Amino acid sequence: MTRDLRRSFGSEEAVAGVDLEVEAGEIYGFLGPNGAGKSTTVRMLCTLLGPTSGSATVAGLDVVADAAAVRLRIGVALQEAALDEKQTGREILELQGRLYGMKGDVLKKRIDTVLGFVDIGDAIDRRVGTYSGGMKRRVDLASALLHEPEVLFLDEPTTGLDPVSRTKVWEEVNRLNRDLDVTIFLTTQYLEEADVLADRVGIIDAGMLVAEGTPDELKRQVGSDLVVVELEDGAEIAPTELERLPGVTAVSQHGHELSVSSANGAALVSDLVVALDQRGVGVASLTLRTPSLDDVFLAATGHRIDPGDEQ
């Protein structure tokens, strides 16, 4: 839980007063583009970075006053897996276990247990330098689970992975949450990832939480149906002219694209086409679909997420 959590770097406020409350046992998706403040928030929650102001508790403990106790109760897999490529996957897990005070049969049993949840296979006894990106992520995930954390932080766990590896990580995250009942705080810039995995989603932009809810709740806020109209170059129309049409609940414009929300998009399409034609507005394309998290993000922030953007 956080209350008015803030973090500044000089004159730049990277996290600008975030209030979060994550329920035990849920997967919480923290969605936003690069530079939005996701990783900075996670680093504060993991005790790697102190807040400038505000407060945060994890597993009921204050991240500043009880930092050491928090670290014993959390598992963390950050964007870049810090793995020694000269070690085998098993050696990395053994080292991690010893750092948490495990040894002998207890450590061996814990390693066998986490390997049952994270698909590594025979590669566990190969050097990490021979691993693919997806395999490195899975070893990092196994390492984060070794001490049976109450809360697991995954900071953009599938960034840079191919679609097949990404899907495997999704399956493992779902299984961990379901079978181990571990609370998962997942940051991502992938809309589909948040939609597939998260019980609830918080959208962060420019350091502020701008929307929160289940994926379905957030989509319903946009509308039951969405008619997306791409205008021809030079074509213009004021959104207020279309808001007067029967069945229209909201209209937003972003460049040459109009997003028209409606409870019954199919019934609206013909009236919308006629209205645009009467006003001499050229239409390049028109699409009827249900809202996505991309539409939610666009409505909340005024721009779309581009996972290709760099920080």
In the chain, domain spans? 2-215, 224-290
pLDDT of 238 > 90? The answer is no
Beta strands at 257-262 and 225-231: parallel, antiparallel or unpaired: antiparallel
b (16+ CB within 10 A) / e for 108-138: eebbeebbeebbbeebbeeebeebeebbbbb
Positions of E strands within 1-158: 2-9, 12-20, 27-31, 53-58, 61-62, 74-77, 151-155
pLDDT category, 311, cuts 50, 70, 90? Answer: very low
Q: Which residue has the higher pLDDT, 79 or 35?
A: 35
Give dist(CA 272, CA 274) in Å, integer: 5
Region 165-188 average pLDDT: 90
pTM listed for this prediction: 0.82
CATH topology of domain 224-290: Alpha-Beta Plaits (3.30.70)
> How far is residue 54's CA from residue 5's CA, in Å, rounded to a whole number?
4
Q: Which residues have a Cβ under 8 Å from the Cβ of 293 and sit 6 or more positions away?
A: 31, 191, 192, 194, 195, 201, 215, 218, 219
Mean per-residue pLDDT, 198-214:
95
At residue 84, does pLDDT exceed 60?
yes
Give residue 117's pLDDT: 82
Inform me whether the pLDDT recorded for 116 exceeds 90: no
pLDDT > 70 fraction of the chain, expressed in percent and rounded: 98
The whole-angstrom separation of Cα 108 and Cα 125 is 14
Question: What does the mean pLDDT of the chain come to?
Answer: 91
Q: Which CATH number is 2-215 given? A: 3.40.50.300
CA distance 102 to 265: 59
CB-neighbour burial class of residue 184 (10 A; exposed 0-12, middle 13-18, buried 19+): buried
- Crossing angle between the packed helical segments 163-180 and 133-145, to the nearest 10 degrees: 10
Pairwise CA distance, residues 174 & 180, whole Å? 10
Supply the pLDDT for residue 308: 57
Helix (H, G, I), strand (E, B) or coil at 11: coil
